[in-house]
Amino acid sequence: MKKVFEKIIEGMLTCSGFVTSITILLIVLFLFTEAFGLFKSKVIEEGYVLALNKSNKVSVLSPAQIKNVFDEEITNWKELGGEDLPIRVFRLEDITQYYTEEELGSAYEYAGDKITELVEKTPGIVAFVPQKFIVHPDAVHFIEDNTISVKDVFAGAEWFPTATPAAQFGFLPLITGTLWVSLFAILFALPFGLSVSIYMSEVANPKVRNWLKPIIELLSGIPSVVYGFFGLIVIVPLIQKLFDLPVGESGLAGSIVLAIMALPTIITVTEDAMRNCPRAMREASLALGASQWQTIYKVVIPYSISGITSGVVLGIGRAIGETMAVLMVTGNAAVIPTTILEPLRTIPATIAAELGEAPAGGPHYQALFLLGVVLFFITLIINFSVEYISSKGLKRSK
């Protein structure tokens, strides 16, 4: 009976592991399938075209050029490789500026003919209109509607997924914002985390250690939104006043909040690594005449360096993957940061803020999934780094 029971338990554990593995693979597969559909999407909004006068020889425009044209930052076709001709932007809602209601018809039944006529007789025009309103396609010239390219996504400097006629899916501001905040978070957290770890492992008496350790571990159980509220109420106004900024929501506020959140991980892993240093090594160092502090930085820390590095890398992973606290204190501005005092936006914050508003299956939706893939690879690299560092530490200890 005992053997049958053991077999049942073994089968249940095997089944659980198999189901868990399959679930993880399906999640990853779904993530990649949704994400890479972005590169099959068209640059121009679906169902619309950019129509030019037949004499205009410009055929290809990048998403950034299209946006600049409709934002009137580019005002001459010469800047786009065409003739020296002023650009005249036309949108569907502008039609009443050119034709009366009688000319368009009571139900706008003549709108297509009038729009086509307007494009035909206006040399510098670029008309962003529904394709069905171009009733004589042979009479006009169209901008090629290519698919969204990898370069436009990963090297794009602007994230504006709701822009028309061409949405901007530049990941560069979001990736740099994520790495920028995480870098400064670790720079802030590392000295404090290492100091507390040394104190708890080598200096504090057992009573203080037993009292302090649960408090530090409790910090990792506090919800991130609570850290966000703390940052918003305390840290943001302090930074605004200290640096005389128009707003206190900035990368610095996000870095400080993330540093506080990463401290429990760094302290716990680092302290455990230091406490694993053999007692014989400490005693040998002290017997040779070294002081306690010399023993710490010449024996204990070098021996524990792989564990310390693992703690730091795990802290980075916590910082990179954090969502709510960063969303609340960084200003949520999708721009490439030049200083830590500027507002910025991270990848997790972008996904959390926009996924609920993105139409399912559309380019915006797919771009957010692709951001998830980028975050997946960043965390995967971090996890591999921890495994590599830990394996080196194990070989060294043997």
H or E stretch including 160? strand 159-160
Compute the half-sphere exposure of residue 206: CA atoms within 13 Å on the CB side of its CA: 0
Structure confidence at residue 316 (pLDDT): 79
Mean pLDDT by 10 residues, the chain (398 residues): 77 81 83 88 90 91 91 92 92 90 86 91 92 89 90 90 90 92 90 90 86 85 89 94 91 93 89 87 86 86 83 80 87 89 92 88 92 88 74 56
Looking at residue 281, what is its pLDDT? 87
CATH superfamily of 48-147: Periplasmic binding protein-like II (3.40.190.10)
3-state per-residue secondary structure call for 345-373? CCHHHHHHHHCCCCCCCCHHHHHHHHHHH
Residue ranges of the domains in the chain?
48-147, 171-397
**Residue 295 corresponds to which tokens in the numbers above?**
């023993």
Cα 43 to the center of its chain, rounded Å: 22
pLDDT at 291: 85
User: Would you say the CATH fold of 171-397 matches that of 48-147?
Assistant: no
Residue 310 CB neighbour total at 10 angstroms? 24
Question: Is the whole-model pTM more than 0.75?
Answer: yes
> DSSP alpha helices (H): ranges in the chain?
2-35, 63-70, 101-104, 111-121, 150-154, 172-198, 206-219, 224-230, 236-242, 251-275, 279-287, 292-295, 301-303, 305-321, 324-329, 347-354, 363-397
CB atoms within 10 A of CB 121: 9
User: Can you give the pLDDT at residue 396?
Assistant: 53
What pLDDT, on the 0 to 100 scale, is given for residue 202?
86
Question: Looking at residue 392, what is its pLDDT?
Answer: 63
CATH classification code of 171-397 = 1.10.3720.10
Cα 147–149–154 angle (5° rounding)?
Answer: 150
